[in-house]
């Protein structure tokens, strides 16, 4: 992707560049899940803010998973399986995110909620990606 070039030379992403990279990552993630799982995510949102990259998705469950998730035991089963998918997504993609953003992931967390068909992956980087906002 074109955003990789020159990012390391910039201390922080300006707003225009941040929005461009967020859009590129949204397309990248939608393509990744379509290729890996055969079903894309209905809604993907990418946020880069200070030292964070947050990936959120809604509408990722297949029809059989939705059926299974209609009971408490089924929700636990589907959430567990999808958490495994999220961790594999991390293993597959964190090196790409690090290269793209010119920073290293030092912490990450996952949330999968089968009941609401929602997942989230939050990564904390070892440096600020965007200029910190001044407090008033």
Structure tokens belonging to residue 79 = 């959430």
Mean pLDDT of 27-44: 87
pLDDT in tens, 69-102: 999 999 999 999 988 888 999 999 999 999 999 9
Check pLDDT > 70 for residue 134.
no
Tokens 């290293």 locate to: 104
Confidence of residue 6 (pLDDT cuts 50, 70, 90): very low
Task: Report how far residue 117's alpha carbon sits from residue 49's, in angstroms, rounded to the nearest whole number.
Answer: 24
Domain ranges in the chain are 2-125
């Amino acid at each position: 992707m074109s955003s990789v070039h020159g990012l390391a030379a910039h201390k922080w992403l300006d707003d225009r560049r941040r929005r461009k990279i967020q859009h590129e990552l949204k397309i990248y993630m939608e393509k990744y899940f379509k290729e890996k799982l055969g079903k894309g995510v209905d809604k993907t949102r990418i946020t880069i803010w200070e030292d964070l990259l947050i990936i959120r998705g809604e509408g990722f469950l297949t029809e059989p998973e939705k059926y299974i998730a209609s009971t408490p035991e089924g929700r636990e089963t589907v959430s567990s399986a999808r958490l495994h998918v999220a961790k594999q997504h991390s293993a597959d993609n964190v090196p790409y995110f690090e290269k793209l953003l010119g920073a290293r992931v030092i912490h990450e967390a996952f949330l999968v909620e089968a009941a609401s068909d929602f997942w989230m992956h939050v990564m904390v980087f070892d440096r600020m990606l965007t200029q910190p906002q001044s407090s008033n």
